[in-house]
Amino acid sequence: MTSLILIALAGFGASFIDGALGMGFGVTSTTLLLAVGLSPALASASVHLAKLGTAAASGAAHHRFGNVDWSAVKRVGIPGAVGAFVGATVLSNLSTKAALPFTGTLLFLLGVYIVIRFVLGRAPRRKPGTPGLRLMVPLGLVGGFVDATGGGGWGPVTTPTLLADGRLSPARVVGTVNTAEFIVALAASLGFLLGLGTAGIDLGIVLALLLGGVIAAPLAAWLVRFLNARILGVVVGCFILLLNARLILGALDAPPAAWWTAYAVLLTVSALAISFVVRIVRRDAAAEGPAAPTGPELHDQRR
């Protein structure tokens, strides 16, 4: 019972992070399940079954608060489902750990780019609108495949890429990515069920993750509306750095001292970047008066 309560709390925290930042549920939850002894395939299968509920709740909440671009959901979600189904089938028969260091490095560099871009106040650069199929199809395929094979990764792949693209506001990126994740989770779950069957899947674990995640989803969707677009972009970028540093350090078999040093540096940089942007946003808001738009209002004015 204690372990299920802890898993439910982890589901709550992971879903809150995922709903507010557009990433984190799969990676956080899968890490916990691997720590308690599940195999990578069973851990990923359990997480994706739970995602069916959490992603549906998160998508509905984001839609209610106006954070979803439905054209973008279709453009990235359908190829994402294809990639997830293929990835689930592959993971059921093969380990893909060798790809993690490469993926982690690319995402880390993309996180650096996002942090710098939003700290300097250069986002978005493009005219607001819906990204085209040229970007969304390969992005969905890669994101879905990485998500299924790694137990998480849909958000870390798609969210920073769409933020870097600059056509959707950060709030809409988060809402769109979370909504499309339902389609991806459904395809991955079908792939795992075909490849593994139901043997070894603990419904108690799935329901615990689901319960915690469903409770957190509307809270996160409500919160993201009130975050300034520039602040949210920096927070997402910093989270990407912390998330993918783990993959890189693990692949290098870094000693504990290197882990502590790396995280101390990243946390310090993140705190400085966020505090700097908060001060700038407050200064600009004070100069413009109380009507200065933030979050979704800023996005609506730019459309």
* Inter-CA distances, 287 with 199, 280, 281, 284, 292, Å: 61, 11, 10, 5, 9
CB 163 within 8 A of CB 123: yes
pLDDT of residue 302: 44
Taking each helix axis from N to C terminus, what angle separates 100-119 and 256-288, rounded to the nearest 10 degrees? Answer: 30
The predicted model scores a pTM of 0.68
CB 97 within 8 A of CB 253: no
d(CA 145, CA 247): 17
* Inter-CA distances, 100 with 106, 188, 247, Å: 10, 19, 7
CB 145 within 8 A of CB 81: no
pLDDT of residue 75: 95
SS3 category, 203:
helix
Q: Residue-wise pLDDT tens for the chain (303 aa)? A: 666 787 788 778 777 777 777 776 777 677 667 666 666 667 777 887 888 888 888 889 999 988 999 999 999 999 999 999 998 887 666 554 555 566 667 668 777 877 887 788 655 556 788 899 999 999 999 999 888 876 667 887 898 889 888 888 888 998 999 999 999 989 988 988 887 666 667 788 788 888 888 888 888 888 777 777 678 778 877 887 887 787 788 778 889 899 999 999 999 999 999 999 999 888 888 887 654 444 444 444 444
Residue 131 CA to chain centroid, in angstroms? 18
pLDDT of residue 289: 64
Taking each helix axis from N to C terminus, what angle separates 133-150 and 100-119, rounded to the nearest 10 degrees? Answer: 130
d(CA 130, CA 108): 25
CB 10 within 8 A of CB 169: no
